[in-house]
């Protein structure tokens, strides 16, 4: 990263590029529902679709089982991003488990904000078991989002800067466009 004197002469675009964390390989935890996203991951595999190796899947009987503490513990342990992948809304095997997950993830977003972490590090996605391509696309887009946000501030890595640290130093203008890659996904809790 540039030192203070260099930063004073940098343009916003330079700073944005500086903050991009090119080459950073995030670790991402995915809580996947047995009835949909986990099966979609299987389908993505059968279809030979490429998606990043950054994600680590944890299978749940339903995303309704996902508790606030599970998400926080992932961040506490150093995960750079966490998302839950549940059934399409209205199609939960247990009727409304995915709606509960959406609410809890919305709550975790507010907790992350309290802690000075970017709430975009956690997200809820919905997909059916037939959506192998969507599973792969979500994994790619979320990995890209987290790559831009940089490492989790609780586990910084040499040469890469958490977006939270860049923001504290240079303000929002210094950041790359923070819009989530999957712009069609309504963020949880909104």
Partner 1 sequence: MITAERKPFDQIYAMTEGHDKVLVAGCDTCVAICLTGGEKEAEILASEISIKAKEEGRELAVEHTAAIRQCEWEYLDMIADKVGEFPLVLSMACGIGIQSLAEKFAPKLVMPAVNTNMLGMPQEHAVWLERCAACGDCVIGLTAGICPVVRCSKSLMNGPCGGSHAGLCEVVGPNGEEIECAWALIWERLKAQGREELMFQYRPPKDWSKSSSGGPRKMVREEAKPV
- By CB under 8 A, what part of segment 72-91 binds partner 1? 72-73, 75-76
Does residue number 95 form part of the binding site for partner 1 (CB under 8 A)? no
| Radius of gyration for the chain, computed over Cα atoms and rounded to the nearest angstrom | 17
Which one, 45 or 116, has the nearer CB to partner 1? Answer: 116
- Considering the complex, what minimum distance in angstroms separates the CB of residue 68 from partner 1? 6
- Considering the complex, what minimum distance in angstroms separates the CB of residue 81 from partner 1? 14
| Residue 28 tokens, joined | 């991402």
Which one, 78 or 133, has the nearer CB to partner 1? Answer: 78
Does residue number 116 form part of the binding site for partner 1 (CB under 8 A)? yes
Phi, psi of 31 (to 5 degrees): -95, 110
Distance CA 60, CA 183 (A): 26
Binding site for partner 1 (CB under 8 A): 67-69, 72-73, 75-76, 111, 114-117, 153-155, 164
């Amino acid at each position: 990263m540039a030192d203070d004197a260099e930063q004073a002469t940098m343009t916003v675009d330079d700073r944005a590029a500086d903050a991009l964390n090119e080459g950073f390989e995030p670790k991402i935890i995915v809580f996947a529902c047995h009835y949909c996203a986990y099966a979609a991951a299987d389908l993505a595999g059968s279809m030979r679709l490429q998606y990043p190796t950054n994600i680590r899947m944890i299978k749940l009987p339903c995303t309704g089982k996902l508790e606030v503490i599970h998400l926080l513990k992932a961040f506490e342990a150093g995960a750079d991003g966490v998302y839950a992948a549940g059934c399409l809304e209205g199609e939960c095997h247990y009727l409304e488990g995915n709606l509960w997950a959406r609410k809890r993830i919305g709550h975790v977003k507010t907790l992350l904000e309290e802690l000075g972490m970017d709430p975009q590090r956690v997200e809820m996605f919905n997909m059916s078991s037939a959506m192998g391509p969507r599973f792969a696309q979500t994994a790619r887009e979320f990995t890209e989002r987290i790559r831009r946000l940089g490492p989790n501030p609780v586990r910084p890595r040499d040469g890469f800067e958490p977006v939270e640290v860049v923001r504290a130093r240079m303000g929002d203008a210094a950041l790359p466009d923070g819009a989530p890659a999957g712009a069609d996904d309504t963020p949880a809790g909104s």
